[in-house]
Chain A
């Protein structure tokens, strides 16, 4: 059994807890879902995405490199394609068309630096906000918003 996602505004005390959250979200995600990962450099966005993709693919050792330079990496999973976007190097929505955004939206999309989506930001997306916790290098504060009725 995978535990239900935690309530909003919870503190994840370790990387393992971040990965458990990712596993819970992966169990809930369906084709067409968008999950936006917001937070500063080093907040754990890629770590959460990596754990999510490994759970969705059912392969705990799957290589999930950072998509910062490639901008998007796509993974085939039993639930269809998962597209891992990193918009750090992108300055606005115009570039997204060339990155296959329209087609990707039919699958599961994970988006780091979602502020650059602009008007393309899906209204029904789940927003996961990660923040560091002053005085505790391991902990992260996470806030989930969206997916009404889907998060226990």
Chain B
């Protein structure tokens, strides 16, 4: 069981974040320091990426959330940090502090797979009807991740597909850059696309209609770059840029909807009781894409749920929540856990009880 409030720490990429959750999942305090926001004037460049920035900010942020939650470290029931995948410098800072607190306060330490934290966020109290019971299908669509995962239980994930090259959020950011838009690229591109003709440029739809659930966005990005290069010299006229943005967004929406349909059919065959499609990651904030996925889900008899954006992008609430889910199963980690730059969701050690796998991965081969 969960012996008391849980402190979560997230330092796997650009965000430095901490949060305190009550044992039932209520958020007592949360704070995210986003390097993206801090460095927007630099056009998406991250001057201080890893360890140093996290080291400079994390202790202050942890003190801040503990004060806001009205707790001393001795009042915590457990402490958790993202243990991977991510940049090793940041992971070492976050898990180092978490382990120090665990030793000092004499409480359990939980090393959280960052992707599992995204996968379980929708189960936070109040986000989905019935608390999003297992199993459900997760589409994780962000700048760094693009994958399609059957979530069967805590630690039980079957990856149905992933990107062969660029992540979808990365494609948004790079196309935004090609169009001269400000950082962050996704929202700026969506605003521009609202004024554009989405049929003017017939961009390719990579993977459309192909079997399986894999994604590919590199060819689409290249097609946009070539279209931009073909325009007359000088600054891109705003209406042309808007048409490119709208046409690009439409291509991405078509591809994601097609891939989601494939994944839902495959997931539904293995889990006739699963009826929930969960979309996480910053790209879920795009209204056009959300509409395309809602329609794909409805067509397969599924309901789409997307957690609010602040919980979809990197944050520490999800880390503390994943720890609560693990602690409820009696799971914690040894203090010598080594952070992992690569840590796939379907790594064998993610599963709490390998002997009780209900549905072997082979069920998904159609």
Query: What 0/1 readout, one digit per residue, does chain B (203-244) give for beta carbons within 8 Å of chain A?
Result: 000000000000000100111111001000000000000000
Given A42-B221, A42-B222, A74-B341, also A95-B167 (CB < 8 A) = no
Query: What 0/1 readout, one digit per residue, does chain B (148-188) give for beta carbons within 8 Å of chain A?
Result: 00000000000000111111011001100110000000000
User: In angstroms, how far is the closest chain A Cβ from the Cβ of B303?
Assistant: 30
Which residue of A40, A65, A98 is within 8 Å of B51 (Cβ)?
A: A98
Q: Which residues of B contact A47 (CB under 8 A)?
A: 165, 218
The residue in chain A whose Cβ has the minimal distance to the Cβ of B226 is: A137
Q: Which residues of A contact B226 (CB under 8 A)?
A: 42, 132, 137
A98 CA / B14 CA spacing, docked (Å): 13
The residue in chain A whose Cβ has the minimal distance to the Cβ of B225 is: A42
CB of B177 within 8 A of CB of A89, answer no
CB of B167 within 8 A of CB of A66, answer yes
CB of B221 within 8 A of CB of A69, answer no
B-side residues, CB < 8 A to A, are 13, 42, 44-52, 85-89, 143-144, 162-167, 169-170, 173-174, 177-178, 218, 221-226, 229, 341-342
Given A90-B46, A99-B50, also A132-B177 (CB < 8 A) = no
Given A70-B87, A132-B226, also A91-B42 (CB < 8 A) = yes
User: In angstroms, how far is the closest chain A Cβ from the Cβ of B272?
Assistant: 30
User: In angstroms, how far is the closest chain B Cβ from the Cβ of A131?
Assistant: 11
Q: Which residues of A contact B88 (CB under 8 A)?
A: 100
User: In angstroms, how far is the closest chain A Cβ from the Cβ of B207?
Assistant: 15
Task: Specify the main secondary structure of chain A where it touches its partner.
Answer: loop
A46 CA / B165 CA spacing, docked (Å): 8
A-side residues, CB < 8 A to B, are 40-42, 44, 46-47, 50, 63-66, 68-74, 89-92, 94-95, 98-100, 132, 134, 137
Number of A-B residue pairs, CB cutoff 8 Å, is 95
Given A66-B167, A92-B47, A98-B49, also A46-B218 (CB < 8 A) = yes
Given A69-B167, A99-B87, also A41-B174 (CB < 8 A) = yes
CB of A91 within 8 A of CB of B45, answer yes
Which of B143, B164, B173, B222 counts the most chain A CB atoms within 10 A?
B222
CB of A69 within 8 A of CB of B225, answer no
Q: Which residues of A contact B49 (CB under 8 A)?
A: 71, 89-90, 95, 98-99
Q: Which residues of B contact A134 (CB under 8 A)?
A: 229
User: In angstroms, how far is the closest chain B Cβ from the Cβ of A112?
Assistant: 12
A64 CA / B87 CA spacing, docked (Å): 16
User: In angstroms, how far is the closest chain B Cβ from the Cβ of A69?
Assistant: 3
Q: Which residues of B contact A65 (CB under 8 A)?
A: 162-163, 165-167
User: In angstroms, how far is the closest chain B Cβ from the Cβ of A144?
Assistant: 22
The residue in chain A whose Cβ has the minimal distance to the Cβ of B39 is: A91
User: In angstroms, how far is the closest chain B Cβ from the Cβ of A113?
Assistant: 11
A46 CA / B217 CA spacing, docked (Å): 12
User: In angstroms, how far is the closest chain A Cβ from the Cβ of B210?
Assistant: 16
CB of A70 within 8 A of CB of B51, answer no
User: In angstroms, how far is the closest chain A Cβ from the Cβ of B21?
Assistant: 27
Q: Which residues of A contact B173 (CB under 8 A)?
A: 68
The residue in chain A whose Cβ has the minimal distance to the Cβ of B88 is: A100
CB of B50 within 8 A of CB of A132, answer no
User: In angstroms, how far is the closest chain A Cβ from the Cβ of B86?
Assistant: 7
A149 CA / B30 CA spacing, docked (Å): 58
Q: Which residues of A contact B218 (CB under 8 A)?
A: 46-47, 66
A-B contact pairs, 13 of them (CB 8 A): A42-B224, A47-B218, A66-B163, A68-B174, A70-B85, A89-B49, A90-B46, A95-B46, A95-B48, A98-B49, A98-B52, A99-B89, A134-B229
The residue in chain B whose Cβ has the minimal distance to the Cβ of A86 is: B170
Q: Which residues of B contact A98 (CB under 8 A)?
A: 49-52, 87, 89
By Cβ-Cβ distance, the 5 closest A-B pairs, closest first, are: A42-B225, A69-B144, A42-B222, A98-B50, A91-B45
Q: Which residues of B contact A70 (CB under 8 A)?
A: 13, 85-87, 144, 341
CB of A71 within 8 A of CB of B178, answer no
User: In angstroms, how far is the closest chain B Cβ from the Cβ of A39?
Assistant: 11
User: In angstroms, how far is the closest chain B Cβ from the Cβ of A51?
Assistant: 12
The residue in chain B whose Cβ has the minimal distance to the Cβ of A65 is: B163
Given A41-B174, A132-B226, also A63-B89 (CB < 8 A) = no
Q: Which residues of A contact B169 (CB under 8 A)?
A: 69
Given A69-B167, A70-B144, also A89-B44 (CB < 8 A) = yes
Which of A44, A46, A91, A99 counts the most chain B CB atoms within 10 A?
A91
CB of A69 within 8 A of CB of B170, answer yes
